[in-house]
Amino acid sequence: MRRILVTGGAGFIGSHLCERLVRDGHDVVCLDNYFTGAKSNVEHLLGYPNFEIMRFDVREPIKIEVDQIYNLACPASPVHYQTQPVRTVETSVMGAVNLLRLARETGAIVLQASTSEVYGDAQVQPQDETYYGHVNPIGIRACYDEGKRCAETICFDYHRQYGVRVKVVRIFNTYGPRLAPGDGRVVSNFILQALRNKPITVYGDGSQTRSLCYVDDLVGGLVAMMESPDEVTGPINLGNPGEYTVLELAEKIIAMTGSKSQIEYRELPQDDPQKRRPDITRAAEVLKWRPHIELDIGLARTIGYFRRQFQLELDVA
């Protein structure tokens, strides 16, 4: 049994990670300030003796004895990080510094949840970990993109200068139950619009591509990375290399929900990436990890979740 801190633990990915770690028998401390997370995501864990939750903001220093730290604290949706850009970049950078200082004091391992957004509007396809990216440093997405890039820099500087054990993963688009309904992500947007028979909003002509990894697969990758030898520092891509256009995804969700929705095209947002597909060769070779859950299965589970969670709202609508 290890004592494990999960920051952003009441968020979408964080709550699933907490669930996995509690099930594996670890002593889990979930830390979240509820800016985008929700206590309801982890309330089913509150009765477990090896789970506790703290309301805390990683922009502040923290003192706690732990063996491992999963740092997932940061708004990941454009809806949230473009509304609070300063808070977002502070969470990425100051949060990483505070947790690396904690790791230096306690000897803990830090797993930094970075993002495929460090590649920006990628000019190569697929993206592997050697690609430096194509990011607009002053655009409306930069608070997230550059914040995560800087967090990676700090992790490796603490590793080189102070010997802190670090692991960096770059997470590609992930979906599944507990996606927040209003955070603007493509899967949750399309599912809720389809269930309500509302227009499906596709930005641009829908030819931009996304690779979608089901959350259970992603959590398996996070755990595999944390449990890898110390010399495995990353960065390592975690995602599903299957690639779909946004239009294909919209049409698939309409069909799976039996919706009467029509597709409505809107102007493409600034700096919206046109291609997003991970090269997971390194994850497969080093971690022996690759995703297994097919898109249709994952979407069916996610659609079922939204049907159950929002049935009263949908009935009224």
> Which residues participate in catalysis according to the annotation?
144
* The two three-digit tokens of residue 15, written as one number: 């709550």
Question: Which is nearest to 13 in space by CA: 154, 271, 185?
Answer: 185
8 A C-beta contact, residue 70 and residue 16:
no
246-257 helix and 186-195 helix, angle to the nearest 10 degrees: 40
Unique residue bearing structure tokens 């009441």: 10
CA distance 88 to 80: 9
CA distance 7 to 18: 10
Say whether 7 sits in a helix, a strand or coil: strand
Unique residue bearing structure tokens 């509302």: 198
Q: Taking the CA atoms of the chain, what radius of gyration do you get in angstroms?
A: 19
Neighbours of 294 (CB within 10 A): 12
CA distance 120 to 273: 6
Phi, psi (degrees; rounded to nearest 5) at 106: -105, -15
Residue 144 one-letter amino acid: Y
Neighbours of 95 (CB within 10 A): 24
Strand-pair category, 244-245 with 209-210:
antiparallel
Residues near 174 by beta carbon (within 8 Å), at least 6 away in sequence: 12, 13, 212, 213, 214, 215, 218, 239
